[in-house]
Structure 1
Amino acid sequence: MTTSAEVTTTLWHNARCSKSRQAKTLLEELGVEAEVREYLKEPPTREELEALMAALGLDDPRPLVRTGEDAYRQLGLADATADELLDALVDNPILLQRPIVVRDGVAVIGRPPEDITTVL
């Protein structure tokens, strides 16, 4: 039976990322059941990204963007607006920071992975 008091946890995960794998292992070690969102296989919508920004307490998507990715340079995003960055994240989910843990509407970027414990 599901109650409104149940805690929901989601891990935005990229299995090829060592930090993301570390965060997943940490959640398992702590006994936290999390829905794993493999965002490269199931890219986020703009609305999901906006909700993620709200959960992170962000007004600007720039902290969500991996600026070291080739796609960031190829798309010329250094001077992009917030709308352009969100569009780029939708079209190129590889640009999304990882891991991200969302628990009951509050999120944290797990860089380093131990930071995820702040929302647990």
Structure 2
Amino acid sequence: MVWTIYHNPRCSKSRESLALLQANGIEPTVRLYLENPPDAATLRQLLSQLQLPARALLRDGEPEYDALDLANPQLSDDHILATLARHPRLLQRPIISNGQRAVLGRPPENLLQLL
């Protein structure tokens, strides 16, 4: 099984999630998504694994959220995913995937569902 964590080392929840994986003997691929943003196709695949709507991946506290009018309920999933690919700071973090299923690591204990 290939584990991946979409990680921001400045985020405490992301660091805690990575530590929880490692404490369970899992050394995931660490993708620093701010430096290497996932494209819209990868985000769509993650959505399928998460079983969540695209809007659930948005961080609504970031300045870009308001500036890009992302609260607009008329926005399509395609629009949201394309925006996330261009503005990775808006992506909820961390996202942990085992290749088949994924969870948001807020709180980090969510990833216990995958272990």
Query: TM bucket by the smaller chain?
Result: over 0.9
Q: Deviations over 1:69-106 (max 9, x none)?
A: 11101111101322221111011001111111101310
**Amino acid aligned to 2:91:** L
**Amino acid aligned to 1:77:** L
Partner of 2:31: 37
**Amino acid aligned to 2:28:** A
Per the normalisation by structure 2, the TM-score is 0.93
Task: Find the aligned partners of 1:65 and 1:20 in 2 and give their Cα distance.
Answer: 16
Q: Deviations over 1:20-47 (max 9, x none)?
A: 0111111111111211011111011111
Question: 1:68 is matched with which residue: 52, 61, 68?
Answer: 61
Question: 1:25 is matched with which residue: 15, 19, 23?
Answer: 19
Distance apart, 1:63 and its partner CA? 0.6
Secondary structure at the aligned position of 2:42 is classed as helix
Partner of 1:115: 110
Task: For 1:32-111, list aligned pairs within 5 A.
Answer: 32-58=26-52, 60-79=53-72, 80-111=75-106
User: Which runs of 4 or more aligned residues in structure 1 lie more than 3 Å from their structure 2 counterparts after TM superposition?
Assistant: none
Task: Find the aligned partners of 2:49 and 2:55 in 1 and give their Cα distance.
Answer: 15
Task: Find the aligned partners of 1:84 and 1:103 in 2 and give their Cα distance.
Answer: 26
Unaligned runs of 5+ in 1: 1-6
Unaligned runs of 5+ in 2: none
Task: Find the aligned partners of 2:38 and 2:111 in 1 and give their Cα distance.
Answer: 20
Task: Find the aligned partners of 2:79 and 2:2 in 1 and give their Cα distance.
Answer: 30
